[in-house]
Amino acid sequence: MRFNAKDLALLAKRPSGCFDKEGKLKICRVVGDEKLIEPRERWCRLKGNLLFLMKNKSSEASEVVILERCWVVEFKSKTDVSIILKFQSGEPDLYIEAASKPDCEAWAVALGEANSEGLRNKIQQLRRLIMEIKEERASEEARQFLPSSQVDSLGEPQFTSIQRIANEPKLEFSLACKGLVAATRDRKLNTFIQVSVVHPAEHILTRYSSTEIVEGTRDPLFLTGVTFPPEYPIYEETKIKLTVYDVKDKSQDTVLTSVLPDHKEPRADVGRSFLGCATFRVGDLVKSKEQQLTLTLRFLSRTSDGGKTVGTIEVNLVKMGEFEDGEMDHITTDAQDQKFLCFLPLKSCSCGFLSATCAHNTENLERMTDRRAKEECALVRECTAPEGLSGKDNLPSLNAVLKNPICKLYRFPTSDNKWMRIREQMAETTLSFHVPKELINLHIKEDMRRNQELKDLGELAPHWDNMRKSVIAHCDQMLSMYQDTLAELGKHTGSSFKSSCSKGEKTLEFIPINLHLQRMHVHSPRLKDALYDVITVGAPAAHFQGFKNGGLRKLLSKFEAERRNTGYQCIYYSPENTAKAKEVLSNINHLQPLISSHADLLLNSASQHSPDSLKNSLKMLSEKTELFVHAFKDQLVRSALLALYTARPGCVLKKPAVPRSSAEESDDLKHQNHPSQIKRQDSIPHHSEYDEEEWDRVWANVGKSLNCVIAMVDRLLEKDNSSKTKEGESDPSAADCKVLHAGGDWYEQLYPLVITLKDCMGEVVTRAKQSMAFVLLQELACGLPQCLMLTLRRDIVFSQALAGLVCGFIIKLHTSLHDQGFLQQLHTVGLLVQYEGLLSTYSEEAGMLEDMAVGISDLQKVMFKVIEAKSEDFLPIITGRREHYVIEVQLPAKMFELLPQEIKEGKLLRMYPVLFNVGINEQQTLAERFGDTTLQENINQENLELLKEYYNLFTEKMPPDCLPHFQEQNDLKGLLENLHQNIQAKRRKNVEIMWLAATICRKLNGVRFTCCKSAKDRTSMSVTLEQCSILRDEHQLHKDFFIRALDCMRRQTQGALNESDDPETGCLTDNKPTSRHFYPVALLLVSSHLLVVWLILSLALLLAKYQ
């Protein structure tokens, strides 16, 4: 990066009041834990994101530090007055030492906020403050417009609610115009209606939505309706204003609903003209007998008082359970004359299906959907139990997950001249922040426990002790980062999703991008209601860390190769052995307290002389102890103990360290660089002895102690039974005395055996913990700091992927509670989760795809469990550790009772995530022409094998009649074979792979995900095309209205945004008109060839110039 040195020098010499902070600090550069030089005193001045370092207050700046892509590590001790500034670029850390603790804390805050990320956080806080002030003022002003009778005792306004069914939209209506009058007789109108709302308390006109453009008729019938979600503040007193516009210059119009103020007529240069407007009260529509209003459309002008009549508007109240009759003839008759012109949203023109070199992909997709219409493709999730969708029992748990729904309403004609209604809903989810916060909290606890285990290793030789100190120091820094991130997330307020503008923010790097539920509810005249859900989310990737060196797939492979060649400094353990060590530690932490509690219960049963309780306690104790003993039956523990012994200050092997006779164990030890072959310093004394068989004796003592307990319990129970048979009928008082005496004997005889069992178990735990902690020490020491950075990156990607998976599972469970076949499949086989990736294999997106592939693969280790909710908090609970998490989904009691017994008993439910990626944008064209698509091909091939594995498991464990009648096994087998052929074909931009994978997923009752870079452009194009294809194939959408339905779904209709706002990201954009296409179609189709020609001509010109 280049700077103007003179300007920087002038800035550094400005008066003191011009700087954000200044003062004396001691500063030096640090590499690892070593300071390059001793800290020197410097006068530091902070201005924006520039830190000037000067020898004294009056001298010139000797160095300028740019505070971007860096973070502050503040030490938590009360006496430490230093902080470290770390840079993501890899340059040496900056050590900063202040004069006092308050001064150190002040500098830490100032440096932490002195970058673009801190500035964005301040802007967000100011925006939230402004919104709070506006809401307070609006509520105060509302009371001034209301009579005292409309204000309750708390001072809140009272209005008449129109809510009909819980969790259903409050109001939905369709629109049509008749007899519109044009300015000239010969002109054919191109009209759309803008819908605005006047709240009775505020008396402020708010733009809400708009219809599509209907071209070439004076009697337009609009396919896009108007819907108000359940939480929208609309009442019978609310007024709705309908404004009709005639679009003149269609190429310059974007159909945004907030282009002009409502009280002003559009200028002639904006490409549209005002035709007229009409207003009605919501109560009039709801209470009308026919639930229909015919309004007069008037053109208001300054010269006329009443306004000129320019036509009528018909407003029809819509209910999803009722059908319209008599209108289909009208629309089919005019089908040739009416043309529906709908523009793509601003977000879809830059890199979607219709962008640059990818315009021909839309043709491929449409040709594919035409062919698929001939096949019987079963993609329907029937609403067999309406109460499962909108029942009161379902509301609390769903409302805890879904927030801020945006609804759209359409009516499309069917092939048999009927109407079907479609309600489209997009909702945020609170899980976007809940799941990452739960995960980070678990990471912090796990890392703190690991650090403590490393400290408990005991005395080590100087080499290993220095290594341990270095590892713990780095781990403490990472732990501090996790804690700071969790603290920042705890302060977050506002929307419950992360927009694409924030994907580079460090504090939000664990949060998934644009995680939403996309739901389509179809009500057809002759078919059952159907729901189609797709989870849309940005590709799980570490955007803040960047993709300069690739993604996780490449980084992990490279790191593992480098770790094998670490030399004598540490011992190499394979990833499998490292994972085994973590599993052993986890089993120890889980089983040891359980065994202790069962042993105490056994003694309690013995003191009460309860034979049945004694048997049950012994059974549980035996089961847990056997699991405990089995956890250490591994060669890794024995070899790690030997390795730990060699790391002590002095060691002499009593027997030569020879691997076991097993060839497999021998091979394992060979790859682990056996500790006896490790180079050690000659100064280490060799005076003690190590007996390798000692561990076997200690480990076997636990089993022997348990056998003693079992034998004693059997002896006591046998004596008790024999004494009862001999006594027969005896004196009751004497029998009671004998029972009390026998109870004391039982406890006294069992107590020493139980204590011995606990002591043996404690000795095993101590040794096993130390040995496994030593294995983890080697893993960390061999790759500092890359190992910790890769762990952080993997945690970030996994957090984003898991948030989407939890959302998809909960939604699927709620919509399928009455589907016994699905519930049986869920606990017998597991749940298929299919991710549709639209990333290219070029530049940064290749790194994103690598991150995404690893993150989705890690989801295989996640298990779900459904539990009954004990409170009103229905958010899921996450337990476990890295590589082994259990998600507990809470359901209300009435919903929990609908589950099979296996699920209610706590059976863990497996997930089978698969990822199929097909790059479709212009960057993928470059990758196919000049780059490499091997990454995509390998990912698709690997996940095809996983999908086949799930299918084989499904066919083995599930009965043939578990799927609906139209989903036959042969059909699934044919689809899998077709998918296999398409993956092997390696055709360019083969979107057939996406359709086949999505079809197989829906047939197997799976959960669908669609992902691209930010879940905006390509994702929206894919989802809308899939929805319209389902309407045509499954619900008989009229073939002449496929494109029109697609255009309606792809247009922006919400009117709460300004013209200069990006509807998805909230980022400011240039206030320029947007056309449908950036380039002519002919240019789009040959753009890649033109690029080659341009490169050749440029090379020729350069050669000619220098000859």
Which amino acid, residue 360? H
The burial class, CB within 10 Å (0-12 / 13-18 / 19+), for 896 is middle
Give the whole-angstrom CA distance, residue 36 versus residue 34: 6
Q: Are 907 and 831 in contact (CB under 8 A)?
A: no
Of residues 378, 433, 477, the one with CA closest to residue 93: 477
Burial 804-819 (b: 16+ CB within 10 A, else e): bbbbbbbbbbbbbbeb
Query: Which helix (H) or strand (E) element contains residue 286?
Result: helix 282-287
Distance CA 811, CA 786 (A): 38
- DSSP conformation letters of 755-771: HHHHHHHHHHHHHHHHH
**Gyration radius of the chain over CA positions:** 35
Contact between residue 586 and residue 628 where contact means Cβ atoms under 8 Å apart: no
Residue 392, by phi and psi: left (phi above 0), alpha (psi -120 to 50) or beta? alpha
State the CB neighbour count (10 A cutoff) for residue 1095: 11
Local structure of residue 1107 (DSSP, 8 states): -
Q: Is 501 a catalytic residue?
A: no
Beta bridge pairs of residue 296: 312
Structure tokens at 301: 């002008």
Cβ neighbours, 10 Å, residue 1008: 24
Q: What is the DSSP string of 890-933?
A: EE-HHHHTTS-HHHHTT--EEEEEEEEE---SHHHHHHHHHS--
Catalytic residue among 1012, 1028, 1048, 1067: 1012
Question: Which of helix, strand or coil describes residue 156?
Answer: coil
Kindly give, in sequence order, each residue whose CB lies less than 8 Å from that of residue 913, ignoring residues fewer than 6 positions away.
805, 833, 834, 835, 856, 857, 859, 860
Beta bridge partners of 293: 315
Phi and psi, residue 97, nearest 5° = -125, 125
177: helix, coil or strand? strand
- Both tokens of 693, joined, read 């068989």
- Number of Cβ atoms within 10 Å of the Cβ of 474: 19
Pairing of strands 689-690, 652-653: parallel
- Among 818, 1063, 1091, which residue's Cα sits nearest to residue 928? 1091
Give the integer Cα–Cα distance in Å for 527 and 380. 11
How far, in Å, CA of 623 to CA of 563, rounded? Answer: 39
Catalytic residues, by residue number, are 1012
